[in-house]
């Protein structure tokens, strides 16, 4: 039990109290925003949390509210922003140690950003210098705590800077450049009959050594009304501040750059941006913008309307709208720069595919030539029907895979419609391969386990074709129907199923690995069945035949039924070793050749 001046409460209980008032210069009470929460621990009231503002920031907050609601905010904004900058600098330590003080400054900036003001260097410097203070590296721990409490605050700050930039009224048709430690501003006012591009470069000489460029070509500039202001702001530390979803596997790997145009209602306004990579070992860059409407208003990164191109140490982003942009990259896969272990993986894939295509064509030709001689009984007939369909599906899937690879290797942006078609057909026909493997396994299981029960060739073909093509088609169609309207069907930079936004890749991984598991069980059952000794056989002959049958079953079932695809499980696990990627690629690239060779020696 706790009992003192704070209050009375049982062990573990909490009491919320208002912050104690401060005294102003006149000796009058000045209410402090926030509260203190006390917890009863060991019969004593201990402070559990304190959201009281410092005296100075509390005063600034009250002054900002009075300014916004006052009769002449435009005339007083310059003086207030100077005071805000000076006092915020003095309160740096209080801000670093208190998410409540940080939150208050963000709210103040949000309030004053609604006031339309001239692009006076003093006004701009004081506003942006205040922002610079609260996005410095020393405030990041406070930001992390604040984001856990109120995720929308970092988005609110970014929106305030955008709104402030858009509301600036140029003086003498100029926009002064502002340079701070953690952010920079550049802009222009479009003159009449302009023929120049909007081309601004930002370079931060801090430890990050980040840089970026914003380019709007002259054709788009000429479509703007004369005297329109274009303003860009670049942030070097905001990448650590804007929150990411907890389950994400990507990080912001460059500057955050926002560009605004004073002319509203723009349509089809293309902007090109170049981002230097903060960490060149990361891969899979995605160009994204900050969508303020996501996560119930808290905001989030969105790739809609942007295309990206990896250019060594830089990423080029082409987007069809304006707002705040950056790049997301994967932190757990190695880079594909020269000398990287994933580059040999690409060579293995292409060499293996070339050999596989030749083997598949040869396999299909041989099947057609020897069809009558190898399909004399029903079991043999159904076995070769499965083999032929597996070969055809693999051939089509590999051809589309090469189309997809060619699209990705071109210097031009990926053709969206062709890439979607490639993704759909790769997904469909690789699924067909797996389901035909399942049909083969089920056929073997049926023939060996249900020896006395037989069905017609027509029924068996109907079942296997429905399984081999019907099920994959249903899965592939449902996948594209669900994810395509959300623009989350394929990956940003690859013609393959999306993972980051929709987890569409599961529509391939789950059926594939399930079939691998089922075929593994079938293989065990078949081998056990074969190992049962036949009545009347001599022991020596029984042993010899059993060994031959086991070797034959394993030699054919392993590549034919896709047991080697089980190694693919390791490649979809985060932080998996490159060794697993190489082993899986080797096994599957040359699996076709092994399969075709074994068909005619079994």
Query: What is the structure's pLDDT at 213?
Result: 96
Q: Give the predicted TM-score (pTM) of the model.
A: 0.56
Query: What is the structure's pLDDT at 596?
Result: 63
Find the mean pLDDT for residues 392-416: 73
Q: If pLDDT is split at 50, 70 and 90, which confidence band does 507 have?
A: very high
Q: If pLDDT is split at 50, 70 and 90, which confidence band does 346 have?
A: low
Instruction: Give the separation between CA 181 and CA 129, rounded to whole angstroms.
Output: 9
Query: What is the structure's pLDDT at 341?
Result: 46
Query: What is the structure's pLDDT at 333?
Result: 43
The domain defined by 353-597 carries CATH number 3.30.420.40: no
Beta-ladder partners of 232: 186, 259
Do 168-334 and 353-597 agree at the fold level?
no
> Which string of DSSP letters, residue by residue, matches 263-290?
S-S--S--EEEEEE-S-TT-EEEEEEEE
- Give yes or no for a contact between 196 and 230, defined as CB atoms under 8 angstroms apart: no
Span 349-400, pLDDT tens digits: 677 778 778 888 888 888 888 888 767 677 677 777 888 898 899 889 888 8
Query: What is the structure's pLDDT at 178?
Result: 93
Sign, Cα dihedral of 125, 131, 135, 137:
positive
Tokens of 310: 């990896």
* CA atoms lying within 13 Å on the CB side of residue 166: 18
Span 101-131, pLDDT tens digits: 999 999 999 999 988 887 788 999 999 999 9
Span 290-345, pLDDT tens digits: 999 888 878 889 888 889 888 888 999 999 888 887 877 765 444 443 344 445 66
CA angle 387, 390, 394 (to 5 degrees): 140
Query: What is the structure's pLDDT at 398?
Result: 83
Domain 168-334 sits in CATH at: 2.60.220.50
Find the mean pLDDT for residues 48-62: 87
Domain boundaries, the chain: 2-50, 53-150, 168-334, 353-597
Q: If pLDDT is split at 50, 70 and 90, which confidence band does 10 have?
A: confident
Q: If pLDDT is split at 50, 70 and 90, which confidence band does 539 have?
A: very low
Q: Is the pLDDT of residue 179 over 90?
A: yes
Q: How is the chain split among helix, strand and coil, in percent rounded to 5?
A: 50, 20, 30
Cβ contacts of 239-248, under 8 Å, gap ≥ 24: 239/278, 239/326, 240/140, 240/143, 241/135, 241/140, 241/143, 241/147, 241/154, 242/154, 242/155, 242/158, 242/290, 242/299, 242/301, 243/147, 243/151, 243/154, 243/298, 244/301, 245/300, 248/500
Tokens of 124: 């701009």
């Amino acid at each position: 039990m706790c009992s003192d001046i704070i209050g009375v409460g049982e062990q573990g209980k909490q009491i919320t109290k208002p912050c104690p008032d401060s005294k102003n210069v006149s000796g009058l009470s000045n209410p402090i925003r926030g509260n203190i929460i006390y917890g009863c621990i060991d019969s004593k009231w201990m402070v559990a949390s304190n959201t009281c503002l410092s005296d100075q920031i509390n005063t600034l907050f009250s002054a900002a509210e009075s300014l916004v609601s006052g009769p002449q905010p435009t005339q007083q904004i310059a003086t207030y922003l100077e005071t805000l900058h000076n006092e915020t600098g003095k309160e740096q330590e209080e801000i670093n140690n208190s998410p409540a003080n940080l939150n208050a400054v963000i709210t103040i900036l949000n309030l004053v950003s609604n006031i339309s003001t001239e692009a006076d260097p003093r006004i701009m410097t004081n506003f942006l210098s205040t922002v610079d203070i609260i996005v410095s590296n020393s405030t990041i721990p406070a930001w992390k705590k604040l984001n856990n409490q109120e995720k929308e605050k970092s988005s609110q700050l970014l929106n305030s800077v955008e709104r402030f930039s858009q509301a600036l009224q140029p003086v003498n048709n100029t926009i002064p450049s502002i340079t701070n430690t953690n952010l920079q501003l550049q802009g222009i006012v479009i003159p009449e009959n302009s023929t120049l591009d909007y081309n601004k470069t930002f370079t931060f000489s801090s430890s990050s050594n980040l840089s970026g460029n914003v380019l709007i070509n002259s054709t788009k500039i000429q479509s703007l009304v004369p005297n329109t202001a274009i303003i860009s702001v670049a942030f070097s530390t905001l990448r650590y501040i804007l929150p990411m979803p907890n389950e994400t596997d990507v990080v912001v790997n460059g500057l955050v750059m926002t560009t605004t145009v004073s002319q509203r209602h723009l349509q089809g306004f293309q902007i090109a941006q170049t981002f230097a990579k903060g960490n060149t070992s990361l891969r899979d860059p995605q160009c994204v913008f900050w969508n303020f409407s996501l996560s119930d208003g808290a905001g989030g990164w969105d790739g809609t309307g942007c295309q990206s191109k990896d250019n060594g140490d830089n990423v080029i982003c082409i987007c069809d709208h304006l707002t705040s942009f950056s790049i997301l990259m994967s932190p757990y896969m190695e880079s594909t720069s020269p000398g990287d272990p994933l580059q040999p993986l690409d060579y293995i894939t292409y060499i293996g595919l070339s050999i596989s295509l030749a083997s598949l064509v040869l396999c299909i030709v041989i099947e057609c030539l020897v069809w009558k001689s190898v399909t004399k009984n029903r079991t043999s007939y159904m076995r070769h029907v499965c083999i032929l369909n597996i070969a055809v599906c693999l051939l089509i899937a590999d051809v589309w895979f090469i189309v997809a690879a060619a699209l990705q290797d071109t210097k031009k942006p990926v053709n969206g419609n062709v890439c979607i078609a490639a993704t759909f057909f790769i997904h469909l026909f690789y699924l067909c391969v797996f389901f035909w493997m399942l049909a083969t396994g089920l056929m073997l299981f049926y023939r060996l386990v249900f020896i006395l029960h037989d069905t017609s060739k027509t029924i068996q073909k109907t079942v296997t074709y429905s399984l081999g093509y019907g099920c994959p088609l249903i899965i592939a169609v449902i996948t594209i129907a669900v994810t395509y309207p959300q623009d989350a069907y394929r990956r940003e930079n690859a013609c393959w199923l999306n993972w980051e936004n929709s987890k569409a890749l599961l529509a391939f991984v789950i059926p594939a690995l399930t079939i691998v598991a089922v075929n593994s069980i079938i293989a065990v059952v078949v081998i056990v069945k074969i190992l049962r000794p036949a009545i009347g056989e001599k022991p020596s002959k029984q042993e010899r035949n059993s060994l031959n049958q086991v070797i034959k079953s394993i030699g054919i079932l392993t590549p034919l039924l896709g047991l080697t695809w089980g190694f693919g499980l390791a490649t979809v696990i985060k932080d998996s070793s490159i060794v697993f990627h190489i082993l899986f690629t080797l096994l599957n690239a040359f699996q076709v050749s092994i399969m075709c060779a074994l068909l005619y020696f079994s």
